[in-house]
């Protein structure tokens, strides 16, 4: 016999609700978001010749650009551009395909970052990807960013989706600006808010998240400018030096902390030092004045995503015009004096970083989110994207508890096909559970690299690739965010 449905004390069946529940409200922000890429992260275009100068979706082009003597010539600043007459080159959009540069290595596109941001906004029109001509001074691009951000915010506030989104937020406030900036893009954002023509822009900004921004500069910039001083070099590295030595943007990335090791003294670089190591003294003077003005201005509601655990240059010696980078840094007391040992020798500290920017340069304050990631992956790694989402949705995110225990990855930036080269993984000497693969960005080449424990409590693998092109090295381990880095394979025709 069929039993009747049992009723509860209110006369309802067990699965029946007392009233119809509304659907979940969207957890999206009503703010306008500006995404600012890093150096070399924007596609550059010459409208006069209808030519893409940087960012072609063709690995063959990338190889030719770095291994032929005229491949990057159109990117060199003209005398008119050096004098401030800009406009010959246009920045059309954010990088859409992986690129590569000596020393800076892999420059990943921003698909994942943009997709992450789009999932947290009320409408795609709330997002402005800000492409810029990264060859120019940060100050020049910062003014353009300030103008673009103001136009974007005013347009978004008139959008119907903005009005609808406000109804789902606790305070129903009007939308404000949020900047998500990778690498040099963080410097642009800082300058736009602090020194830009729109004095109200900082007040209309809800917050700034930076991903691996070198607020105090990067020793890697000195190595780029110094390449080849006193030693032969592959053509790609010489081509970058030739390009970088005229670029104000690279000089804006020079270290501005005590990093020049002179034995019993450690000091900041001077414009004369920059000229000695291969840079431009006048550009160094201009950059120093720019950063002096910027230093005292805070970033509104700033949160920094900082790379850790990766071997990173943090200081240098300069002898006879030759830079030798070192993976340790020096620290000062609150009174500005160097920390020294009992014998008066400056104390050395290894704080690591993201492979390009060391941790203490990327962290303007103690409000940081540390991740064991390479510099390029800070704008695409899963863990970093979780931080971006939390920031956009105004949820506090403290990051992993033990960031310093992550793995580190070191690879060459340029290799020759069929020659053996080395992959090094730091942070462990146990290969069990650590998987390293090398895969072509284009094509079907994939190869597992076998890791061995070496004498320095790290892991090493030796591998070859068969052809020229761009390859991605990936290191995976249980409970650890995967590490990736790009390597360019090709031949070169001598010194530049």
- Average of per-residue pLDDT across 450-461: 86
Predicted confidence at residue 231, as pLDDT, reads 53
Quick one: which H or E segment has residue 390?
Answer: helix 382-392
Cα end-to-end span (Å), the chain: 94
Buried b (16+ CB within 10 A) or exposed e, 224-258: bbbbbbeeebbbbbbbbbbbbbbbbbbbbbbbbbb
Mapped onto helix, strand or coil, the DSSP state of residue 271 is helix
Compare 14 and 352 and report the one with higher pLDDT.
352
Per-residue model confidence as pLDDT tens digits over 379-411: 987 888 999 998 998 733 334 433 345 788 999
Strand ranges (E), 276-376: 302-307, 315-319, 322-326, 368-371
How are beta strands 32-36 and 127-129 bridged, if at all?
A: parallel
Compare 21 and 496 and report the one with higher pLDDT.
21
Q: Are 98 and 441 in contact (CB under 8 A)?
A: yes
Lowest model confidence (mean pLDDT) among 37-51, 92-106, 274-288: 92-106
Place of tokens 């991605």: 472
With cut-offs at 50, 70 and 90, classify the pLDDT of residue 182. Answer: very high
Predicted confidence at residue 398, as pLDDT, reads 39
Predicted confidence at residue 235, as pLDDT, reads 66
Predicted confidence at residue 22, as pLDDT, reads 60
Output phi, psi for 17, to 5 deg.
Answer: -90, 150
- For the cut 70, the answer to whether the pLDDT of residue 57 exceeds it is no
- For the cut 90, the answer to whether the pLDDT of residue 328 exceeds it is yes
Q: What tokens were used for 85? A: 């007459």
Predicted confidence at residue 380, as pLDDT, reads 85
**What pTM value is reported for the model?**
0.82
- Average of per-residue pLDDT across 322-351: 91
Q: What tokens were used for 148? A: 């673009």
Mean pLDDT of the chain: 87
- Average of per-residue pLDDT across 144-167: 96
Alpha helices in 8-131 (DSSP H): 59-67, 79-82, 111-118
Which value, to the nearest 10 degrees, does the dihedral of the CA atoms of residues 313, 317, 319, 321 take?
40
Over its C-alpha atoms, the chain yields an Rg (Å, rounded) of: 25
Per-residue model confidence as pLDDT tens digits over 409-445: 999 989 999 999 999 998 888 888 889 999 999 888 9
Per-residue model confidence as pLDDT tens digits over 212-246: 999 999 999 999 998 755 555 566 777 888 888 88
How are beta strands 414-415 and 480-489 bridged, if at all?
A: parallel
Per-residue model confidence as pLDDT tens digits over 15-48: 555 555 566 666 789 999 999 999 999 999 999 9
Domains of the chain, CATH where assigned: 25-406 (3.40.50), 407-491 (2.60.40.10)
Compare 94 and 366 and report the one with higher pLDDT.
94
How are beta strands 368-371 and 414-415 bridged, if at all?
A: unpaired
Compute CA distances 202 → 93, 299, 390, whole Å. 25, 8, 21
Q: How many C-beta neighbours within 10 Å does residue 128 have?
A: 20
Nearest to 140 by CA among 93, 94, 187: 187
Q: How many C-beta neighbours within 10 Å does residue 457 have?
A: 11
CA dist., res. 71 & res. 45, Å (int): 15
Per-residue model confidence as pLDDT tens digits over 239-268: 888 888 889 999 999 999 999 999 999 999
- For the cut 70, the answer to whether the pLDDT of residue 378 exceeds it is yes
Predicted confidence at residue 330, as pLDDT, reads 95
Quick one: which H or E segment has residue 423?
Answer: strand 421-426
Predicted confidence at residue 232, as pLDDT, reads 56
Share of the chain above pLDDT 70, in %: 89
Q: 459: Cβ–Cβ under 8 A, 6 or more apart, which residues?
A: 424, 425, 426, 428, 429, 431, 434, 451, 452, 453
Strand ranges (E), 226-367: 260-261, 266-267, 302-307, 315-319, 322-326
Per-residue model confidence as pLDDT tens digits over 192-212: 999 999 999 999 999 999 999
Predicted confidence at residue 8, as pLDDT, reads 42
- Average of per-residue pLDDT across 273-294: 94
- For the cut 70, the answer to whether the pLDDT of residue 126 exceeds it is yes
- For the cut 60, the answer to whether the pLDDT of residue 5 exceeds it is no
Sheet strands side by side (includes 322-326): 266-267, 260-261, 315-319, 322-326
Q: 173: Cβ–Cβ under 8 A, 6 or more apart, which residues?
A: 30, 166
Predicted confidence at residue 273, as pLDDT, reads 96
């Amino acid at each position: 016999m069929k039993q009747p449905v049992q009723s509860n004390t209110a006369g309802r069946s067990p699965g029946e609700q007392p009233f119809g529940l509304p659907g979940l409200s969207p957890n999206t922000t009503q703010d306008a978001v500006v995404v600012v890429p890093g150096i070399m992260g924007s596609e550059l275009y010459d409208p006069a010749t209808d030519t893409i100068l940087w960012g072609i979706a063709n690995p063959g082009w990338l190889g030719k650009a770095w291994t032929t003597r005229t491949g990057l010539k159109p990117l060199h600043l003209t005398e008119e551009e050096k004098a401030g007459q800009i406009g010959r080159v246009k920045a059309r959009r954010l990088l859409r395909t992986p690129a590569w540069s000596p020393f800076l290595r892999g420059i990943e596109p921003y698909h994942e970052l943009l997709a992450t941001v789009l999932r947290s906004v009320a409408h795609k029109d709330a997002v402005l990807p800000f492409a810029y001509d990264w060859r120019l001074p940060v100050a020049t691009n910062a003014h353009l960013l300030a103008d673009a951000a103001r136009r974007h915010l005013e347009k978004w506030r008139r959008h119907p989706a903005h009005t609808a989104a406000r109804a789902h937020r606790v305070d129903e406030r009007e939308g404000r600006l949020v900047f998500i900036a990778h690498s040099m893009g963080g410097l642009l954002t800082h300058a736009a808010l602090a020194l830009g023509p729109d004095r109200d822009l900082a007040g209309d900004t809800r917050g700034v998240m930076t991903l691996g921004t070198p607020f105090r500069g990067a020793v890697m910039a000195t190595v780029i400018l110094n390449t080849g001083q006193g030693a032969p070099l592959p053509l790609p590295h010489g081509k970058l030096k030739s390009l970088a030595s005229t670029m104000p943007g690279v000089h804006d990335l020079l270290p501005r902390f005590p990093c020049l090791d002179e034995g019993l003294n450690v000091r900041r670089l001077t414009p004369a030092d920059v000229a000695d190591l291969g840079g431009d003294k006048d550009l160094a003077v201009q950059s120093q004045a720019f950063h002096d003005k910027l230093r005292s201005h805070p970033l509104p509601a700033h949160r920094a995503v900082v790379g850790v655990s990766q071997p990173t240059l943090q200081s240098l010696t300069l002898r006879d015009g030759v830079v030798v980078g070192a993976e340790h840094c020096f620290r000062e007391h609150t009174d500005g004096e160097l920390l020294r040992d009992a014998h008066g020798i400056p104390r050395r500290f290894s704080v690591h970083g993201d492979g390009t920017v060391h941790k203490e340069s990327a962290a303007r304050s103690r409000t940081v989110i540390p991740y064991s990631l390479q510099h390029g992956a800070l704008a695409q790694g899963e863990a970093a994207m979780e931080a971006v989402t939390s920031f956009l949705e105004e949820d506090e995110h403290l990051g992993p508890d033990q960031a310093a225990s992550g793995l580190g990855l070191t690879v060459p930036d340029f290799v020759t096909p069929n020659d053996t080269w080395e992959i090094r993984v730091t942070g462990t000497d146990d290969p069990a559970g650590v998987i390293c693969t090398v895969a072509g960005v284009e094509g079907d080449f994939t190869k597992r690299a076998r890791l061995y424990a070496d004498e320095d409590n790290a892991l090493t693998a030796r591998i070859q690739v068969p052809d020229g092109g761009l390859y991605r090295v990936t290191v995976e381990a249980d409970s650890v965010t995967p590490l990736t880095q790009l390597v360019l394979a090709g031949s070169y025709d001598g010194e530049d």
